Amino acid sequence: MSEAGVRATPATGTPAAGTATAEAVPPRLWWGLVALALSATMHATDAMLVTVATPRIGADLHTGLTQLQWVTIGYLLGYASTLVTAGKLGDRFGHRNVFLIGMVGFVVSSALVGLAQGITMLIAFRVVQGVFGASLLPSALAIIRLTFPASKLKVAIGAFMGTFAIAAASGPALGGIIVYYLSWRWAFYINVLLGAVAFVMVVLLIEPVPPQDRHRRVDVLGMALLTVALVGIVLGVNQAPDRGWTGPLPLTCFLVAGVFGALYVAHERSATDPLTPPSLFRSRTFVTGNLILLLSTALGFAVWFYLGLFLQNVQGATPLRTGLQLLVIPITGIFCAPLGGVLSQKLGPRVPLTIGAVCFLVATFGMSRLSVGDSYQHVWPYLIPLGIMMSFIVPVATEVVISSAPANLSGVASGIGETMGSLGPAIGVASVGTAISLSIRHGIADRLADAGVPRGIGAAVSAGSESVAQGAVPVPAGTPGDLAATIARQAHEAFTAGLGTALTGALVIPVVCLVLVWLLRPGTPAPAAEPGASLDEPAPSSEPAPSSEPAPSSEPASGTEPVPMPSTN
């Protein structure tokens, strides 16, 4: 059955829920996709808007850097740790129901964040906002998977995830405009307006049907174990750049994550109705798709993040100007996202994924060669392949993950994929940041000495190497103007050289992605398990199962394993 369907009418004979064919996709289905894409836009822009609004939040609420970091960390903790749980609840109780509850919670918590008068309440509401936000993408992707026919599934998911990627890349520019002309509070109030529109459209356009996995029990213990493990990973990774990967707090977090992760795996192997059935991970396509998502989002977001620091702190651009300069990425995505879906539909996922990985390699190589004297003219050409990468790899890999799972596990599969896409940026930014810090720590003192900076002042600057690792210049108070300019030049040189070293080493990631692309196994999706049946058999197969039903489409099988739809004949 479809989670979002179109009601049959005697006048038109429009197919009922779940029976749309490749030949006729009702217009209402596409409008439903618009409603779901609006929710993706709301979530993606919110995450990026906050990066621009954070300095104003700190000034208005009179708080320091440590607490400000929790505005972002708090949301990520709530979001990344509950994605799989939200997806599973959708499989059990209905994705439309979970989506609407999540939408209401996200809108209300966004309003409360905007109204917060203190940093503690703001952070608390951000955690709540993240928990409710976690239900939006897994449920939306599951609805699309269960609604669109196989011949249109790749295009639909490509358009949805392309919208998400474009919105995320556009967030800084939009955030700069909102913060500059309105206030940081409107970075959250805007969710109330978008959420209200999306809620009404979903209620009107997407109809509820019985849940796909309603006969299975909720694995409460598994949810609890997985949540604690993911919280440990997210918190440890976020604290690593400041405290070191082997610092007491990060190490404790990783230890907790390891213990609870091991308990979770042991529990899932013996559970009657596991949260993440082991059969999912026996599918090479499912595992490979998730690895591509993890690696591509890790390095892709890190490149985007540190490029923003380069433009602002090294080249002196304002946050608004930086956001506008980075608009090349979403503008490229607007044109390329639909093309990626079409290529995947016609030629299979390997073609757009290969193109995306090659563009990824080109963009990373170009960024690794930047120097302090380079103007924006040397930067923007590499933003185009970065935009192509984002609009080809993320949507197509997401579709690979979702359609390689049984239909009754669409939600949990979506949650796992989105968890990879959420952990990736955190790991990528922290890892690249660590590499930059190590490079600076071992070279900044010599740079300053060679430039003639007095030893005492050089030692003070070297002590602030963490600031230099963000492109900032920790010039001691009272330093003469000419000497301050020399220190700034050397600090910028150190940051840019460290970024180049980190990205040069990271070139292996696009290469690994290329290898993974060709490990995808063409085949058909695993059938939905019957109530009470074991899920411990391998999911996908390279040969389609015999069926008395007519083939839903003449499309050749592809690595994304399209969803078989029942015939309407």
Tens of pLDDT, residue by residue over 311-348, are 888 888 777 787 778 888 878 877 787 788 788 878 88
Q: How far apart are the first and last CA of the chain?
A: 17
Spatial separation of the C-alpha atoms in residues 49 and 176, rounded to whole Å? 8
Domain assignment of residue 63, yes or no: yes
Task: Give the residue-averaged pLDDT of 186-194.
Answer: 86
Report which secondary-structure segment, H or E, holds 412.
helix 410-441
Percentage of the chain beyond pLDDT 90 is 10
Domain assignment of residue 249, yes or no: no
Total domains, the chain? 2
What pLDDT score was predicted for residue 510?
93
Spatial separation of the C-alpha atoms in residues 39 and 206, rounded to whole Å? 14
Domain assignment of residue 250, yes or no: no
CATH number at residue 157: 1.20.1250.20
Spatial separation of the C-alpha atoms in residues 424 and 370, rounded to whole Å? 24
Q: Are residues 153 and 38 in the same domain?
A: yes
Domain assignment of residue 459, yes or no: yes
Helix (H, G, I), strand (E, B) or coil at 21: strand
Among residues 157, 191, 211, the one where a domain terminates is: 211
Among residues 176, 211, 246, the one where a domain terminates is: 211
Q: Are residues 183 and 306 in the same domain?
A: no
Q: Are residues 67 and 186 in the same domain?
A: yes
270-274, 299-303, 553-557: range with lowest mean pLDDT: 553-557
Spatial separation of the C-alpha atoms in residues 465 and 472, rounded to whole Å? 9
Confidence of residue 25 (pLDDT cuts 50, 70, 90): low
Q: What is the pLDDT of residues 391-435, one digit of tens each?
A: 888 888 888 888 888 877 777 888 888 888 888 888 888 888 888
Nearest to 440 by CA among 424, 463, 419, 423: 463
Spatial separation of the C-alpha atoms in residues 425 and 327, rounded to whole Å? 19
Contacts of 279 (CB under 8 A, 6+ apart): 526, 535, 536, 537, 538, 539
Residue type (1 letter), 503 = L
Q: What is the pLDDT of residues 213-249, one digit of tens each?
A: 666 677 788 888 888 888 888 888 877 777 778 888 8
What pLDDT score was predicted for residue 546?
41
Domain assignment of residue 327, yes or no: yes
Domain assignment of residue 418, yes or no: yes
Domain assignment of residue 122, yes or no: yes
Residue 533 predicted with pLDDT over 50: no
Distances, alpha carbon 308 to alpha carbons 187, 301, 317, 322, 327, in Å: 19, 11, 9, 7, 12
Place of tokens 């970065």: 386
Domain that holds residue 28: 24-211
Q: What is the pLDDT of residues 128-156, one digit of tens each?
A: 998 898 888 888 888 887 777 777 777 77
Q: Are residues 204 and 306 in the same domain?
A: no
Contacts of 408 (CB under 8 A, 6+ apart): 91, 212, 213, 528, 529
Q: Are residues 300 and 188 in the same domain?
A: no
Confidence of residue 307 (pLDDT cuts 50, 70, 90): confident
Spatial separation of the C-alpha atoms in residues 30 and 338, rounded to whole Å? 14
Domain assignment of residue 166, yes or no: yes
Spatial separation of the C-alpha atoms in residues 115 and 122, rounded to whole Å? 8
Spatial separation of the C-alpha atoms in residues 405 and 567, rounded to whole Å? 21
What pLDDT score was predicted for residue 335?
79
Tally of residues, the chain: 569
Q: Are residues 306 and 207 in the same domain?
A: no
Pick the residue with more confidence: 466 or 374? Answer: 374
Q: Are residues 305 and 423 in the same domain?
A: yes
Spatial separation of the C-alpha atoms in residues 437 and 271, rounded to whole Å? 44
Task: Give the residue-averaged pLDDT of 15-35.
Answer: 62
Confidence of residue 68 (pLDDT cuts 50, 70, 90): low
